[in-house]
A and B are shown apart, each in its own frame.
Chain A
């Protein structure tokens, strides 16, 4: 019973850590992109495209981490 509880604890802590990391990453990315658009509104289209691409790649790391957490719970 204790090992199951530890698995749940580990998985939830892992998910929290992954989300913190991805949140910081996408937050910094979005801040820089907004700044870029504010400075140069005519480049907004290019910046938005590059931002979405990079955000999706950062999000991918988060998805990998969440899958690992899910596997910890499901495989225990």
Chain B
């Protein structure tokens, strides 16, 4: 709802003329109120779309690859091209021999984020990744996987000591250590913010363009915002793929930097 106060400035023109919610494709809305252990766990539009995407992925991918065909055909071919691209370009490039261990997680990240980004482009759809809580959970999965894999690889003491880069003079070590621990949190926080901001920005740009029609209150200006909004829709298709790629890439880099030994 913080976003609502910010966006209210866009829509003052509409509120006067008619009760019509122009924000419906940007904001989340509750479909069913639910409280669990004192927390607000309502079923919202984003939750439902995220379930839909999860169900689609869980049904589609095994159906395409379940038969263990040597050469997949049709849609399976397209998915294999994407998976091999992520495998070669990201996983084995950054994780090396550790890649095998993290491959299922990172490929899941890629397809989950990609499909959640793409649902925003379906008419009537919502983008679950334009919800900060979704991206924070995704980033904290990366955080905890890096933390525990790093501690398993180097030992608890070795991991926290390994945060200090080599060649730091002894007197500066406590300060650098505090900074490195902070940067560990900031890195993963920004990972969540980046996906959230990029997926929200496209919708806000479309909202601002459509608002132009309501601000001018005329049919003559209407074609220009509509054409521009369509072009931004195409741009969002690119951004959906790019942000899924970047999220996967940075997750891999953060995990690999947590696992890697000093050199």
Mark A residues whose CB is within 8 Å of B: 45, 49, 52-53, 56, 59-60, 63-64, 66-67, 70, 73-74
Contacts and interface: CB of A to CB of B under 8 A. Distances in A.
A52 B93 CA distance: 14
Contact of A53 (B190, B193, B249): B249
Given A74-B5, A74-B6, A67 B193 contact: yes
B193 A64 contact: yes
Contacts, number: 34
Contacts of B197: 63, 66
A53 B93 CA distance: 13
Given A63-B193, A64-B186, A64-B190, A56 B249 contact: yes
B151 interface: no
A63 B194 contact: yes
A9 B194 CA distance: 24
Nearest to B196: A63
B89 A52 contact: no
Contact of B2 (A60, A64, A66, A74): A74
6 cross-chain pairs, A with B, having the tightest CB-CB distances, nearest first: A60-B190, A56-B246, A63-B193, A63-B194, A74-B2, A63-B197
A59 B2 CA distance: 23
Contact of B246 (A52, A66, A70, A74): A52
A52 B193 contact: no
A52 B193 CA distance: 17
Contacts of A49: 89, 93, 249
B193 A56 contact: no
A47 B2 CA distance: 40
Contacts of B121: none
Contacts of A59: 194
B253 interface: yes
